[in-house]
């Protein structure tokens, strides 16, 4: 089950981040906390996403933090402590700096990636392997900024089966990533009944996302576009994330 928890935490951060100030899907001060559970009843951990306005190299940017950790019985045999940070442009949503420091059952990574949009080169410092790499890119999002970018898309008139495609920079490589729209559903949550839009990741077979094609994501069908639930069907059981606390939203939380 360890590998499934690792994949779930990784995919959770892939599907949650980035928006432009003018679209006001989010604002500085927003905080989202999620409960992670295994097979619907065993708490597996917690994930938190936060965004604040900061200054980077003399320019005002959005600074987002994503953290995830295991808890309860799961922590006894598989401990996760993941930290992600992204600094991205408030107007263009282009990532400038991405930090990833993870410890997943003793599997560790510590990397910092800088994006140069003039040369279209990403420079990654790997502090674990003591190795630096430079990779060419064109119009990419990092693992965390992709979340806010996707939230910022206009999806009001999407039809069932339509897809949103982006290129994502991860582990010194560029990967194609797609979300397919499955439809709408009124979802029962701890906050009451909420109108949602349902998406599913569609990726190239054989890529690193192959084991994640069973993931389904529900986002609020309002101006905030908050991921409110996510479920991954596994060969044994399932993993689920559910919104359990929020604050600092840019828009009213619309309920049915």
Is residue 32 one of the residues assigned to a domain?
yes
Q: What is the CATH number of the domain that holds 214?
A: 2.40.360
Residue length of the chain: 256
Is residue 9 one of the residues assigned to a domain?
yes
CA 10 to chain centre: 8
- Output the pLDDT for position 152: 86
- Output the pLDDT for position 212: 52
Structure tokens at 93: 């949503």
CA nearest to 135, candidates 150, 146, 147, 119: 119
pLDDT in tens, the chain (256 residues): 444 444 555 555 555 443 333 457 999 999 999 998 877 667 888 999 999 999 999 999 999 999 988 887 677 777 888 999 999 999 888 999 999 998 877 888 999 999 999 999 999 999 999 999 999 999 999 999 998 998 888 888 899 999 999 999 988 889 888 889 999 999 999 999 999 999 998 754 444 334 456 789 999 999 999 999 998 776 666 778 999 999 999 999 988 7
Is residue 145 one of the residues assigned to a domain?
yes
- Output the pLDDT for position 177: 86
- Output the pLDDT for position 19: 36
- Output the pLDDT for position 9: 53
For residue 4, which phi and psi values (nearest 5 degrees)?
A: -70, -40
Contact between 16 and 147 under an 8 Å Cβ cutoff? The reply is: yes
- Output the pLDDT for position 79: 80
Structure tokens at 252: 């009213």
Is residue 253 one of the residues assigned to a domain?
no
Residue range(s) defining the domain that contains residue 80? 2-247
CA nearest to 52, candidates 78, 15, 21, 8: 21
Dist CA 17 CA 12 (whole Å): 10
- Output the pLDDT for position 186: 97
Residue 146 exposed, middle or buried by CB count within 10 Å (0-12, 13-18, 19+): buried
Is residue 70 one of the residues assigned to a domain?
yes
Query: What is the greatest pairwise CA distance in the chain?
Result: 52
Q: How many domains, in total, are found in the chain?
A: 1
Q: How, if at all, do strands 140-142 and 163-170 pair?
A: parallel
- Output the pLDDT for position 236: 64
Report DSSP state, residue 147. Answer: H
């Amino acid at each position: 089950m360890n590998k499934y928890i690792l994949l779930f935490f990784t995919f959770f951060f892939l599907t949650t981040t980035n928006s432009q100030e003018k679209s006001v899907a989010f604002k500085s001060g927003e905080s989202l906390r999620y409960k992670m559970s295994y097979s619907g009843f065993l708490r597996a951990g917690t994930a938190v996403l936060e965004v604040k306005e900061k200054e980077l190299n003399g320019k005002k940017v959005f600074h987002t933090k994503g953290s995830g950790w295991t808890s309860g019985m799961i922590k006894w045999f598989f401990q996760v402590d993941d930290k992600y940070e992204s600094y991205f442009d408030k107007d263009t949503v282009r990532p400038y700096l991405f930090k990833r420091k993870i410890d997943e059952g003793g599997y560790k990574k510590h990397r910092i990636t800088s994006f140069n949009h003039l040369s279209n080169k990403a420079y990654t410092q790997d502090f674990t392997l003591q190795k630096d790499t430079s990779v060419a890119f064109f119009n990419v999002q990092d693992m965390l900024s992709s979340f806010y970018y996707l939230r910022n898309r206009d999806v009001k008139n999407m039809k069932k089966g339509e897809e949103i495609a982006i290129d994502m920079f991860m582990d010194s490589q560029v990967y194609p990533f797609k979300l397919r729209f499955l439809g709408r559903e009124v979802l029962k949550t701890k906050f009451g009944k909420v109108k949602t839009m349902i998406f599913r990741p569609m990726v190239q077979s054989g890529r690193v996302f192959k084991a994640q094609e069973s993931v389904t994501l529900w986002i609020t069908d309002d101006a905030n576009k908050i991921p409110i639930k996510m479920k991954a069907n596994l060969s044994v059981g399932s993993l689920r994330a559910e919104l359990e606390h929020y604050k600092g939203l840019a828009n009213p939380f619309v309920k049915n």
